[in-house]
A and B are shown apart, each in its own frame.
Chain A
């Protein structure tokens, strides 16, 4: 665990000591703020629960994009710069490397979510929503972000450069997001399988409405672990 923490801290400082981390943070919060004011609050006639639901819906987009951007350089960039060899030759398991990097990116995502809390706080102050609705929304956002991060990290583990990692990770995420639409064209039983694998539509909606769903949580956690497993095995394969 100490090793994972050390890698996590190293990565975290890597984000915070370069403009890249702040750039991603500011961009996401800026887009979140605009979407919140324009879409979620709109003309002000939306009821508070609905406004909160819409906020969590619009916040999912920037979160997914930020996850891909944060994860793209985690391994591929080190490979490109030739520093990955240090980790590969160190007595570290694939899980430790991948786990540390993943936790660092997840922490940055958590900071972004923490800074965006002013928006639901306004709805809470001026409307009639419960704290648990906000908590559930952020839980969903974090689980979605973690799954996207893990997928993008997996792409980064296979890619030779950051750009290829971003393109591959982004493509994978887009495919998973669009699976719900594809499911409409497929015939049974493939339609239900494809619909189930859809990243946002099928599993994120309950969280937006303040509903805690076992099925949705199991999907996001298992998808995150699967993607991390593939990334970790890929690292071990190389060493």
Chain B
């Protein structure tokens, strides 16, 4: 400790500990504090190094003075850059970014040679005839490596900011499917596709080829390219707030398709493009769908019940409207006793306590026969819907479904076997919300009555709770069934509360209702799949595959290596 050899590392370690400790324990920001502390470290190191140089004699003193001189230069540059940064308003953003990069660079230029110089100094002091030349070369190496690291950081920063990518795979094109072209061709009025993209974006070229093919297939399709930054008023009109969106306009209706602008996602975007375009065209071009909820037989209504909100249908109405449906009420006064309104897509009878009139039943049967959809949510204590269920081959059974394994814990603790959950459902293209949840959403039901299905029933259950979730052995006793005998579709529920506000708050029930509306309005998933650059699967016959395996794994590599060995042996021999 004669020359205070350990002062510098101690000072440095103390400062760094203070800095990192502050960062780790106080979660202080890296930004301003780091700048000040970095400058302090450099200056303290420069002062200590100068003091150290004064304590030494001979050629070693010159070496220490060189290190301290370097630190003084770095420290001074640091202070100068920090003073410049104090008034950021006078400098352009490019200068400010450059200044931010100067600080870590100066810190490295100062401290790495300082640390290496210190190690070398320790070695020099141990020798009676120190080789200062070698130490200076080592110091120069340290400086060069430091500059290399800084250059590495700088190059990568610039490359990160100015990154450009070119997709040369030849996979960047997509063509519309036959079904999309037929769909667009069948439209009455033109459908306009407004693509909001930056002018030179890589995705534009394949999109251009896709929509040009669609335009060629049908004069109904129009394709326009816009930039939301350059044409903000048009973007606002179409409710588009950024680039990467295709607005599909048909008459007064507009649907938007959001696409990723990341070039790496391009292939995935193109793969899904046709299905998404088809969904959007279907959505804007289909006539308005109307859900009628009957009243006048003690049914649940939109309004909350006088005794509380739990059995009201407010949430169900909101879900229907979110699914793009118009909601109306249908009473005897509207003429339900004789006919169902022609604009009706779905008629829902939810929790009727009294049976509808024979004329109303007849009207409902006629509506079904013409392809209309019906929701029949029954109550054990109310009307059992025999008049409508009998022709379908269904009967509401007495009693309630109980399940000990899948019962739901109720608020306040405890559970009842009559309140159960179902997360597994037979899937159908229209059950998108349930399907997407991948079994995570459970539909909850309580006090639901089971159904029995006659052997000679003509209708086919399409969506129902799967065995192993609600009931283990009886498939159709799940309390709810989506069933259809073409072209009509009917959803039957063994408990009207399933559609009430209480259960509809559960995300699983909400998804269930959403899918039910999709299914009942025949809004099945479109069949479109993009034809991406007519890429093909690598299917080959077993014999060919075997040849591929032996050829690629053993054949050529071994042959090449043996030839190489033979050549070397012939020409020069093995060394």
Contact = CB atoms under 8 A, between A and B. Distances in A.
Given A17-B568, A212-B165, A218-B155, A230 B145 contact: yes
Nearest to B540: A44
A133 B168 contact: yes
A6 interface: no
Given A222-B152, A226-B149, A210 B538 contact: no
Contact of A26 (B145, B551, B558): B558
A236 B554 CA distance: 44
A214 interface: yes
A130 interface: yes
A113 B564 CA distance: 15
Contacts of A167: none
Contact of A30 (B148, B164, B553): B553
B141 A25 contact: no
Contact of B552 (A48, A122, A135): A122
Interface string A113-145: 001001100110011111011011000000000
Interface string B6-43: 00000000000000000000000010000000000000
A33 B545 CA distance: 12
A51 B545 CA distance: 14
B288 interface: no
Interface string A194-218: 0010000000011001111111011
A130 B168 contact: yes
A215 B561 contact: no
B169 A130 contact: yes
B91 interface: no
A79 interface: no
A17 B171 CA distance: 43
A236 to B, nearest CB: 6
Nearest to A230: B145
A128 B263 CA distance: 20
Interface string A31-44: 00110110001001
Interface string A18-35: 100010011001100110
A237 B141 contact: yes
A108 to B, nearest CB: 11
A46 to B, nearest CB: 6
A205 B540 CA distance: 27
B436 to A, nearest CB: 24
Given A44-B545, A237-B138, A37 B168 contact: no
Contacts of A129: 169-171, 535
A49 B145 CA distance: 41
B568 A233 contact: no
Contact of B168 (A29, A210, A226): A210
Q: Binding site of B, secondary structure by majority: helix, strand, loop or mixed?
A: helix
Contact of B561 (A26, A45, A127): A26
A33 B557 contact: yes
Contact of B171 (A49, A119, A196, A233): A49
Interface in B529-563: 533-540, 545, 548-549, 551-554, 556-558, 560-561
B127 interface: no
Contact of B557 (A26, A219, A229, A233): A26
B167 interface: yes
A236 B159 CA distance: 31
A16 interface: yes
A13 B575 contact: yes
Contacts of A122: 548, 552
B237 to A, nearest CB: 35
A115 B560 contact: yes
Contact of B536 (A14, A25, A127): A127
Nearest to A214: B164
Contact of B574 (A18, A189, A206, A226): A18
A76 interface: no
A41 B553 CA distance: 13
Contacts of A33: 549, 552-554, 557
A41 B536 contact: no
A22 B159 contact: no
B156 A219 contact: yes
Interface residues of B, number: 56
Given A34-B553, A48-B536, A226-B149, A213 B163 contact: yes
B151 interface: yes
B170 A132 contact: yes
A47 B152 CA distance: 38
B169 A214 contact: no
Contacts of B169: 49, 129-130, 132-133, 136, 209-211
Contacts of A210: 167-171
Contacts of A233: 141-142, 144-145
A130 B539 CA distance: 18
Contacts of B267: 49, 209
A127 to B, nearest CB: 6
Given A133-B169, A136-B169, A206-B264, A47 B537 contact: yes
Residue of A132, A214, A236 most packed against chain B (CB within 10 A): A214
B165 A206 contact: yes
Contact of B556 (A16, A45, A118, A237): A118
Nearest to B30: A189
A77 to B, nearest CB: 14
B141 A236 contact: yes
B132 to A, nearest CB: 14
A5 interface: no
A44 B537 contact: yes
Nearest to B159: A218
Contact of A236 (B137, B158, B163, B540): B137
Residue of B164, B556, B557 most packed against chain A (CB within 10 A): B557
B538 A44 contact: yes
B170 A16 contact: no
Given A127-B538, A230-B148, A25 B575 contact: no
Contacts of B575: 13-14, 17-18
Contacts of B322: none
Given A133-B171, A215-B163, A37 B144 contact: no
B551 A118 contact: yes
B565 interface: yes
B148 A226 contact: yes
Nearest to A197: B156
Contacts of A217: 159
A234 B140 CA distance: 11
A223 interface: yes
18 contacts: A13-B572, A17-B575, A22-B561, A26-B557, A37-B548, A45-B537, A49-B535, A127-B535, A127-B536, A128-B533, A130-B169, A130-B171, A210-B168, A211-B264, A226-B151, A233-B141, A233-B145, A236-B137
Q: Please name the 3 residue pairs, one residue from A and one from B, whose CB atoms are nearest each other, closest first.
A: A210-B169, A33-B553, A130-B170
Given A49-B267, A129-B169, A218-B159, 9 more contacts: A29-B557, A49-B171, A115-B560, A122-B552, A130-B169, A211-B167, A211-B263, A222-B152, A234-B141
